[in-house]
Amino acid sequence: MSDPLVLVTDADGIRRITVNRPDKLNALNAATLDALQAAFDAAATDDAVRVVVLTGAGPKAFVAGADIAEMADLRPTEGRDFSLRGQRLMRSIETLPKPVVAMVNGFALGGGLELAMGCHLRIAADTAKVGQPEIGLGLIPGFGGSQRLLRLAGRAATLELCLLGAPVTAERALQLGIVNRVVPATELEAETLKVATQLAASAPLALRATLDVVNIGGECGIEEGLQYETAQFGLMFATDDMREGTRAFMERRKPSFTGR
């Protein structure tokens, strides 16, 4: 029996999802996209899961890209369907009602960078490299890379990465705003779990509302975004967690949030 394409483990409210094709540098074929979709769908509806950490198996790659061998013989309609499959996954991660942290342990290229950009936070090893090299294959990004990179890093950086196709270092990615933090490779797991643990201890409803207002605000005008923020802010006053958080602050103790 072959190894699962995606590994899922749980500990203390943190679900770790690992792309498990190290012999292929965790390249995304259709079956792996489907396995990731199922894993994130399950995480979305599991009340025991408060935060998700996404990474790749092995020491070399987070995800080195889409599976070129599988793509090589696709016809136009099949290529479109493959793109839609990937975009559906990235969008479901981006809109997950729980924080998703990408632990970028190595190469994040093409579909791998697109996968990382779908996550809410990205912590990279100092040895990692990221890029959109599709131009070298006669392709363009197909899993949302042109659009999310544009929103994260701006027009100039997006055109540089997509037109030239050369990967950049983790430090350069940090300067461009593509990743949030860069740490020594030996400290990557500890730093990522530190962030995930902090998120897991936070108020789940407030986390969800924060993700919602940022997602909505990024896709509408300022007035609509402000109105949505105000509505979500008001709803927090109906939660037990808001009462617990304010009470704990006044009593100078750590809050204990329940997600209610």
Domain ranges of the chain: 6-200, 204-250
Active site residues: 114, 134
How many helices (H) and strands (E) the chain has is answered by 11, 10
pLDDT in tens, 29-43: 999 999 999 999 999
Q: How does residue 1 score in pLDDT terms, banded at 50, 70 and 90?
A: low
Crossing angle for the helix pair 222-236 and 204-217, nearest 10 degrees?
Answer: 170
**HSE of 208 in the Cβ direction (CA atoms, 13 Å)?**
16
**What is the signed CA dihedral for 145, 91, 216, 259, rounded to 10 degrees?**
-130
Say yes or no to pLDDT of 83 above 90. yes
DSSP 8-class letter at 179? -
Residue 151 and residue 200 in contact, taking contact as beta carbons nearer than 8 Å: no
CATH number attached to the domain at 6-200: 3.90.226.10
Q: Pick the closest to residue 188 from 170, 201, 202 (CA basis).
A: 170
The answer as to CATH 3.30.70.2500 being correct for domain 204-250 is no
Question: Cβ neighbours of residue 209 under 8 Å, at least 6 residues apart?
Answer: 232, 233, 235, 236
Indicate whether 170 pLDDT > 90.
yes
pLDDT tens-place string over residues 6-32: 999 999 999 999 999 999 999 999 999
Distance CA 207, CA 209 (A): 5
The rounded radius of gyration (Å) of the Cα atoms in the chain is: 19
State the Cα–Cα distance between residues 173 and 98, nearest whole angstrom.
Answer: 24
pLDDT at 244: 86
How many percent of the chain have pLDDT more than 70? Answer: 99
Mean pLDDT of 176-184: 98
Picking from 43, 145, 149, the residue whose alpha carbon sits closest to that of residue 99 is 43
pTM above 0.85, yes or no: yes
